[in-house]
Amino acid sequence: MAPYDRIIATGASATIPAVWLEQLAVGGILIGSLSGRLTTATPLYRLVKHTDGSVAGAFLPSPAFFMTLHEHEQPVWSPRNDTFYESLPVIEQEETDLNLLALLRDASFALFVEQHMPGVYAHLYIPRPNKSAAIVRGTRLFLPGHTMLTCTPSSLANQSWQIEVRGSVPLWSKLLEIHHIWVQQGKPDISWYHITVEKGSHHLQLTENEEDQPRPL
């Protein structure tokens, strides 16, 4: 019977459900994971409930890969969306050695981008297959209703990548700027974030450096 001293949620959610916090005893620990829009990795958090009803803690160093809870699923992507975005004008094109696919597999970078560019989401992209060619895998980033960024390898060796942005927002330039800030700040790990939950919403605060990062309570 609630309240519980420990709650472990094995399904990822985009927010921290209030009902879990309501069933957590003061001093109790909640372990769960947040689903994001840019990576399948779901950062694990460890939170402790205080006497004022607030909950605080930090992400654990290693992410999980939990399935998203149905009531918290992100909007389902549909291939039909591509037709609209592919009709938009090209505003950026570039060849780069920056492996965006690998970067977005890093939960810490994906979380950093989400914090700096709310609303952006990613989806695996496979160009229309050529029967005589190997399958090429890339990624597409979307700002819904505005912009699409397509990233595909220039060669099978995946040593360089073709970037194309269609729409109204220079998404590639913004990503390069965010990546520069991320590197300048020491490539913050997910465990560098402090999490507080008050009045039904969670807030993330990044510590300035590794020495100051919050430790799990």
pLDDT given at position 158: 63
pLDDT at res. 135: 58
Burial per residue of 5-42, b for 16 or more beta-carbon CB atoms within 10 angstroms, e otherwise: eebebeebbeebbeebbeebeeebbbbbbbbbbbbbbb
Examine residue 152 and state whether it is found in any structural domain, yes or no: yes
- Asked if 199 and 160 sit in the same domain, the reply is no
State whether 106 and 153 are in the same domain.
yes
Q: 24 and 106: one domain?
A: no
Number of domains the chain contains: 2
pLDDT score for 80: 47
Q: How many Cα atoms occupy the beta-carbon half-sphere of 171 within 13 Å? A: 28
Can you give the residue range of the structural domain that contains 16? 4-70+189-212
Residue 174 in domain: yes
- Could you give the dihedral angle defined by the CA atoms of residues 42, 37, 117 and 16, in that order, rounded to the nearest 10 degrees? -50
CATH number of the domain within which 18 lies: 3.40.50.150
Judgement on whether residues 92 and 156 belong to the same structural domain of the protein: yes
Would you state the pLDDT for residue 56?
92
Residue 140 sits in the same domain as residue 177:
yes
Q: Indicate whether 163 and 126 sit together in one domain.
A: yes
For residues 200 and 149, membership in a common domain is answered with no
User: What are 79's two structure tokens?
Assistant: 């291939």
| 217 falls within a domain | no
Together in a domain, 13 and 55: yes
Average pLDDT for runs of 10 along the chain of length 217:
90 87 94 86 90 90 80 48 87 93 88 90 74 66 92 77 95 96 92 84 72 43
Task: Answer yes or no: do 90 and 174 share one domain.
Answer: yes
